[in-house]
Structure 1
Amino acid sequence: MSQDYALQTPPHLSTGARAGATEPEVAPGDIAVGVLIGRTSEFFDFFVFGIASVLIFPKVFFPFVPPLDGTLYAFALFALAFVARPIGSVIFMEIDRRHGRGVKLTIALFLLGGSTVSIAFLPTYHSIGMASIWLLAAFRIGQGLALGGAWDGLASLLSIKAPSDRKGWYAMIPQLGAPIGFGLASALFSFFLANLTMDDFLDWGWRYPFYVAFAVNVVALFARLRLVATEEFTQLLETRELAPTPVWEMIRAQGRTVLIGAFVPLASFALFHLVSIFPISWITLFTKRSAGEFLLVQFVGSIVFAGAIVISGIVADQVGRRRLVGIAASLIGLFSLASILAPLLFGDSETGQTIYVLVGFGLLGLSYGQTSGSVTENLGTRYRYTGAALTSDLAWLIGAGFAPLVALSLSSRFGLAWVGVYLLSGAVATLSALVINRKVATY
């Protein structure tokens, strides 16, 4: 079978080809901008909740337990969105099939924005007791369902439409939404920590990032609808058969590809939270370093993250995406071994903490920059829209959803070296998946 199978449209799959349809000319750059805006919005929401899970929720929703336990409970709520996300994909795929992509995207992003802004108005434990925790859990599940529904097919379309010699470059552009979203979230929380008293911050200051997240969602909604709802994009999605297919049909046809694809980015997704959310919890609970100052270090890390993603696009077009993902996983494995052998690097040393974050974000950028292609390129054209969404959902659930909870639990009980062991397992999973399926993201 040709290594370019993922880029081919077999005659029996191509409705547009059978009908003699002429594919409209839509610039890959236009698609990339649409995907980038959407990803930035989603990741900003994602990181606002993640940072609040460390700095806010243990104090305002779990004040009845020690800080460590409160943070672990908050991380358990954080994981709920990753559990709900594949369920959201299944539900919203059906909405897409019945009512169209524009209706699905509108409902999903309003659910995402509504859940986020509802957290901003949520009364604390001292006001309504356990009801506040149940409501927070419900809104987090709402965010997860909405993220599953926010899949618009533009990333898969970009993978198809990008020039053959610049696949890596265009694959990395949507991934820039992660460092942009994290940079905005960390800078915003750092600003409020620096300019408010802790009492004011815990009383009302923490709510503002959630208001901002709602505003960002509204902007992203109109930006994405402007692309998805146009006649040109509708025709292009139809001729490329990027339409929702029944989930069980897709699983029967491409279940093996989806499962392997979900394991390919595990090194990247595990590292994702081990340099972003988890370090904030360790700094807050076990060191005397200022959380606001450390968030500024992470803001610098987000710049390194973005730069490494750009580099990944350049390198991938030279050596191939699959090879780069494998190289990056190997480097992450070495990074995890260093964390196992020298856990004190991230202990009480502020210099060591800074090095850990910056190096980690650099490796994350090289790996994460090409994970989009690694989880979609082996899917047949007919199943790519639904399959790419579920593959991504499962990858996030397995690799990242419980990472902060597991890392904090292990490190608080057995020491920081166990964080390295956890990360090493992700690198091994990625390399194993690449060996099992050598056609993942191959050119």
Structure 2
Amino acid sequence: MRYWQLLKKRGKSMSSIPHDGNGPSASAAERDLRNLHADHAAVAPGEIAVGVVIGRASEYFDFFVYGIASVLVFPAVFFPFLTPLDGTLLSFTIFSFAFIARPFGTTLFMSIQRRWSRGTKLTGALFLLGTSTVGIAFLPSYATAGITTIILLSLLRFLQGIALGGSWDGLPSLLALNAPRGRRGWYAMLGQLGAPIGFFIAGALFLFLWLELSKEDFLGWGWRYPFFVAFAINVVALFARLRLVVTEEYTQLLEERELEPIGIREMLRTQGYNLFIGAFAALASYALFHLVTIFPLSWIALHSQQSIPSVLIVEMCGAVVGILGTVASGWIADRIGRRTTLAVLACLIGLFALFTPWLLDGGKFAQDTFIIVGFALLGVSYGQSAGTVTANFEKRFRYTGAALTSDIAWLIGAAFAPLVALSLSSRFGLAAVSVYLLSGAACTLLALRINKVIESRD
């Protein structure tokens, strides 16, 4: 039956297919199915990769625009009644709201997809992401609106998380499943390239505005510009992704791979253990993620150890190193395995954690070294962190499983990282950051070990 459904979509009729008396001959059936998948192979990997990179880069740009603003803008604009440290901590608290909201967004928009369509879901999610992002640009300062503006900021940040959870389109999973044999590590890293690319663009935009505007103009209106840019980029990304996910060819590919939404209750009941193994397997990467992007900017800025432009320039250089590391992760993973890559990088991140106090508190050269080396480790590790153990999911659970695994990993590993790191380091010293990173590395190694034991029993 599946064979006839696929042939019907391709426009073939029974009369055009050779029979042996009981149905189509084996050779004819095999030939038609080979042709069908050959057509897919000719168009799928490259075009899917473009859609994945564009989509993820736009999401991460939104992500980092908010993160950088949490350090450079929000303490002064929305929390002027607090000390710079307390204002930054409160900014980081609201920063975490999007990660708390992501699983709810995934659940909501999976239901929308089951009821209507994948295109409706993606359009709604990206429209919500764009409007909530640009809404932040229109918020009045605390001096104008008082506590109301803080409530609105919190609400818009939560809506950003709902939208990010709903924007899962299944393209990374489809890309991994259609990658050539022996090249899955390479294709897996393509979606992860969006992180350093998005950070580089966001950092460059804030750097330009900081250098070109007076501090009064920057805090008065200049900081709003990146949020308008984020809205425009989301529009471009929406059309780039819709061009893929609503076409007949890609709908057919998604259906063939059974990449369809599954009810969350059923998912948790039957595959819950895989969700948490997958989330913890990537924890070292996600814990490091904000500790080399957002946290150093806050720590250095609060202690006036370097100028803001100097830190942003180094972090942009780090983003370039992160891009190179992400690309290298694909080459490495295809030779030693994706899980081995994650395990080795977890050990290296643990070793890097031991030097964190001396680097971050050691002057400009040491701080710059922390950022550059951190981005290098992040690139290689994060490049293979998505979907490393999603092969454990039953086929029909992979679409929803990949989305929820990512949501949980962000929530556990990254949501509170800037808040926890800045809070603990301000009270107990930078050794607390080392402990935080070491715990992430230990969780990754433990999860990978558990995953290996489970696989050996199957």
Q: Give the TM interval when normalised to the shorter protein.
A: over 0.9
Residue 215 (str. 1) matches residue 232 (str. 2): yes
CA shift for structure 1 position 157: 0.5
1:96 maps to amino acid = Q
Cα 1:356–1:383 shift into 2, 3 Å: same
- Please state if 1:31 is matched with 2:48: yes
Contact map agreement 2:79 2:142 (CA 8 A) in 1: yes
Give the counterpart letter for 2:132 in structure 1: S
Instruction: Give the counterpart letter for 1:142 in structure 2.
Output: L
Per-residue deviation, residues 318-371 of structure 1 (Å, max 9, x unmatched): 1110100100111001101222xxx13211500000000000000001100101
8 Å contact from structure 1 (residues 85, 144) kept in 2: yes
SS at match of 1:438: helix
For residue 137 of structure 1, the aligned residue among 141, 154, 173 is: 154
With normalisation by structure 1, the TM-score equals 0.94
Q: 1: distance between equivalents of 2:335 and 2:215?
A: 50
**Higher Cα Rg, which structure:** 2
Paired position in structure 1 for 2:220: 203
- State the secondary structure of the residue aligned to 2:355: helix
Instruction: Identify the residue that residue 60 of structure 2 maps to in structure 1.
Output: 43
Aligned equivalents of 2:416 and 2:173: distance in 1? Answer: 27
1:378 and 2:392 matched: yes
Superposed, 1:153-302 pairs within 5 Å as 153-302=170-319
Q: Residue in 1 aligned with 2:378?
A: 364
Instruction: Give the alignment's Cα RMSD to 1 decimal.
Output: 1.5
SS at match of 1:377: helix
Structure 1 168/441 Cα, relative in aligned 2: closer, same or farther at 3 Å?
farther
Amino acid at match of 1:344: W
Q: CA deviation at 1:20?
A: 5.8
On the 8 A contact 1:190/1:295 being kept in 2, the answer is: yes
Stretch moving more, 277-286 or 24-33: 24-33
1:396 aligned partner? 410
Residue in 1 that maps onto 2:27: none
1:438 offset after TM fit, Å?
1.4
Q: Is the 8 A contact 2:278 2:387 kept in 1?
A: no
Name the residue aligned to 1:7. none
Find the aligned partners of 1:72 and 1:440 in 2 and give their Cα distance. Answer: 40
In structure 2, the CA distance between the partners of 1:70 and 1:81, relative to structure 1 (3 Å rule), is: same
1:387 equivalent to 2:401? Answer: yes
Give how far 1:39 is off: 0.4
Moved over 4 A (4+): 15-24, 439-442
**Preserved contact between residue 375 and residue 388 of structure 1 (Cα < 8 Å):** no
Q: CA deviation at 1:439?
A: 7.6
- Residue 149 (str. 1) matches residue 166 (str. 2): yes
- CA shift for structure 1 position 239: 1.2
Query: What pairs up with 1:271-350 in 2 under 5 angstroms?
Result: 271-339=288-356, 343-350=357-364
The percent identity for this pair of structures is 61
Q: Tell me whether 1:112 sits opposite 2:129 in the alignment.
A: yes
Partner Cα distance (1:174, 1:440) in 2: 27
Cα deviation for residue 16 of structure 1 reads: 4.4
- Determine the structure 2 residue equivalent to 1:59: 76
Deviations 1:168-207 (A, max 9, x none): 1101111100000000011111111111110110000000
- Report the more deviating stretch, 16-25 or 278-287: 16-25
Q: Which moved more, 1:60-69 or 1:246-255?
A: 246-255
Query: Per-residue deviation at 1:253?
Result: 1.4
**Residues 20 and 212 of structure 1: is their aligned pair in 2 closer, same or farther, counting only changes over 3 Å?**
closer
Specify whether residues 440 and 268 from structure 1 end up closer, same or farther in structure 2 by C-alpha distance, changes over 3 A only. farther
Q: Which of residues 416, 436, 443 is equivalent to 2:450?
A: 436
For the residue of structure 1 that corresponds to 2:168, the secondary structure is coil
Distance in 1, matches of 2:246 and 2:273, equals: 33
* Structure 2: unaligned runs, 5 residues or longer: 8-35
Question: Does the 8 A contact of 2:305 with 2:363 survive in 1?
Answer: no
- Is the partner of 2:182 in helix, strand or coil? helix
What secondary structure, in the 3-state scheme, does the structure 1 residue paired with 2:174 have?
A: helix
Query: Is the 1:185–1:209 Cα contact (8 Å) retained in structure 2?
Result: yes
User: Structure 1 residues 210, 440: closer, same or farther in 2, change over 3 A?
Assistant: farther
Measured in 2, the distance between the counterparts of 1:208 and 1:376 equals 38
Is residue 33–residue 174 contact of structure 1 (8 Å, CA) maintained in 2? Answer: no
Query: Partner of 1:322: helix, strand, or coil?
Result: helix
Letter in 1 for 2:363: S
- Distance 1:301-1:244 versus aligned 2 partners, 3 A rule: same
Q: How many residues align?
A: 425
Given that 1:297 and 1:354 are in contact with CA atoms closer than 8 Å, whether structure 2 keeps it comes out as yes
Paired letter, 1:198 = K
